[in-house]
Chains A and B, each alone.
Chain A
């Protein structure tokens, strides 16, 4: 809303853009009816020209408004949230990503996940042109055995946060965190939120394969039964899913190989990719050792240490910061809850089928307007299934459709996992696709930059196709 107010000790009457707490709004409304002046502990506002407020339009708290009130009249009008002619309406802040930070990643030793996380937040804050003191929210997550937690607040010296929690949705977490941060900005719960994920599964002088194996020497319970039967790894579970797809639709290992090769091509244009400088041929893919047939080594993602953080704030604020804002236009989640009984569609359909259309609708866009696709690629098969479920290729035809020349890879029609993804760049769970999406949306992809990057779709996928999140990001247009 726009009000006339005296907002400092100068006594000058100016027009201000204000976002009031519900309590302050009600008080202001009462004052308006009395045609009088209302007063809050830090602000005195004349409300004589305020009309037709609607309670549901109230979002942000007064404290934030106090720091951000002074706006040009035209900007205030632009953000009026659709003035219907009945008077000023309280706008709902539009969320955007304003900062991005990534630590060194891959075989990087000597730091804990918590230290990677702290570094990533500092990098993201600096990238945005902010300081740590500007943060009023922190969402934290990390790998299965990492040390990271909400005590990161103390490590960073953050005080008076208005949003703080640890989240875990496995591979769907990163995109979920961005969603919750966006909702917090919309609701006014917090204004400038660091979203961070970090992990440290690789230990010096330990085998990579030891990174995610169970630490218990004597397994117990249901998991123990599975492990003793040879089912102790996500590799095996996803291979079981992939085999179902292969048998039902005729998908082949060659189809998976084309995805691996295409992403490796992208990685050759990404200097921070772990496989930068190491291209892959289809023959080399087939020659790589088996992990769990039908999966070769190069069907499986990397294992990486490192951290990524993004700063989520309002679009208005992001516009005044250092980097091009990346708008958070739409989102959805889908957590199917496998039945594990006859007719379960495990391996045939993922949560992307449900979440994709909802996220696109929220963003007011359609699949054919998506310029860049950053999907969670723990396995080649996950890419295939997710692209089918979103509708980029027909259900059951993803194998041959994506293997067609000119579809994937840097020269392809579909710009998928443009940094090399988790298969060829680095595996920081859902932050891998989120990171590359922000890079692309900003137009900062260097040799791998996609020319048209107005709309970017991001997926997260956790468990064994159990947990899904979708984001639609966009440029500020």
Chain B
């Protein structure tokens, strides 16, 4: 889950407009149909490249557990992952709802949003509980 506030800049303004509505905006090339990552700069051709909402679901292609020192001297273990969105682009995010000791490769995740302080709504991902996690992992663990 996001830990501190983030402000928008010109490059992220439209993306944060989307997160405020509960949408995770990707970019679509209207000429080829290809779906691109949110970071793609649409200003190069605003007619050709348009922002489209993602389904908001994806699959973990890699994950690690960050050890974060807290002010009180304790250590937090934060699972973070590369998520392959169902549309194709990758997104780097924390994953909540995950046991830091469990295998996350291939697990299904869903986007959520959190507004911290007076900043923007920040996307993060949560684990979708699969009926059979092992099977889910095998099925989705494409590299």
Using CB atoms and an 8 Å cutoff, list the residues of chain A in contact with chain B. 209, 218-222, 224-231, 233, 236, 239-241, 243-244, 247-248, 289-295, 340-344, 346-348
Measured CA separation A214–B122 after assembly (Å)? 19
Measured CA separation A239–B84 after assembly (Å)? 17
The residue on B at minimum CB distance from A242 is B64
Given A229-B124, A292-B66, A236 and B80 contact (CB-CB distance below 8 Å): yes
26 CB < 8 A contacts A-B: A218-B5, A219-B5, A219-B7, A221-B7, A226-B92, A228-B116, A228-B122, A229-B2, A229-B92, A230-B68, A230-B78, A231-B92, A236-B80, A239-B64, A240-B81, A240-B92, A243-B63, A243-B64, A244-B143, A248-B143, A290-B65, A292-B67, A293-B65, A295-B64, A340-B90, A342-B88
Q: Is B48 an interface residue (CB 8 A)?
A: no
> A230–B61 contact, CB under 8 A?
no
Q: Is B9 an interface residue (CB 8 A)?
A: yes
Measured CA separation A348–B11 after assembly (Å)? 30
> B3–A241 contact, CB under 8 A?
no
Contacts of B78 in A (CB 8 A): 230
Contacts of A226 in B (CB 8 A): 92
Question: What is the number of contacts between chain A and chain B, taking CB atoms within 8 Å?
Answer: 119
> A228–B2 contact, CB under 8 A?
yes
Q: How far is the CB of B86 from chain A (nearest CB, A)?
A: 10
Which of A220, A229, A243, A342 makes the CB contact (< 8 A) with B9? Answer: A220
> B62–A229 contact, CB under 8 A?
no
| Besides A224-B6, A229-B122, A230-B80, 6 other A-B contacts (C-beta < 8 A) | A220-B7, A222-B12, A227-B4, A231-B92, A295-B64, A340-B37
Using CB atoms and an 8 Å cutoff, list the residues of chain B in contact with chain A. 2-9, 11-12, 36-37, 39, 61-69, 77-78, 80-82, 84, 88-90, 92-94, 100, 105, 116, 119, 122-124, 141-143
Contacts of A343 in B (CB 8 A): 142-143
Contacts of B39 in A (CB 8 A): 222
Contacts of A291 in B (CB 8 A): 67
Contacts of A244 in B (CB 8 A): 61-62, 143
The residue on B at minimum CB distance from A338 is B90
Which of B5, B65, B80 makes the CB contact (< 8 A) with A229? Answer: B80
Given A236-B66, A340-B37, A341-B37, A228 and B92 contact (CB-CB distance below 8 Å): no
Measured CA separation A233–B94 after assembly (Å)? 13
Contacts of A294 in B (CB 8 A): 64
Contacts of A247 in B (CB 8 A): 62, 105, 141, 143
Q: How far is the CB of B57 from chain A (nearest CB, A)?
A: 14
Contacts of B67 in A (CB 8 A): 289-293
Given A228-B6, A230-B78, A240-B62, A221 and B11 contact (CB-CB distance below 8 Å): yes
Which of A219, A222, A231, A236 makes the CB contact (< 8 A) with B11? Answer: A222
Measured CA separation A398–B9 after assembly (Å)? 43
Measured CA separation A343–B82 after assembly (Å)? 13
Given A228-B6, A228-B116, A340 and B89 contact (CB-CB distance below 8 Å): yes
> B6–A225 contact, CB under 8 A?
yes
Given A229-B122, A342-B84, A220 and B65 contact (CB-CB distance below 8 Å): no
The residue on B at minimum CB distance from A291 is B67
Contacts of B88 in A (CB 8 A): 341-342
Q: How far is the CB of A14 from chain B (nearest CB, A)?
A: 62
> A229–B94 contact, CB under 8 A?
yes
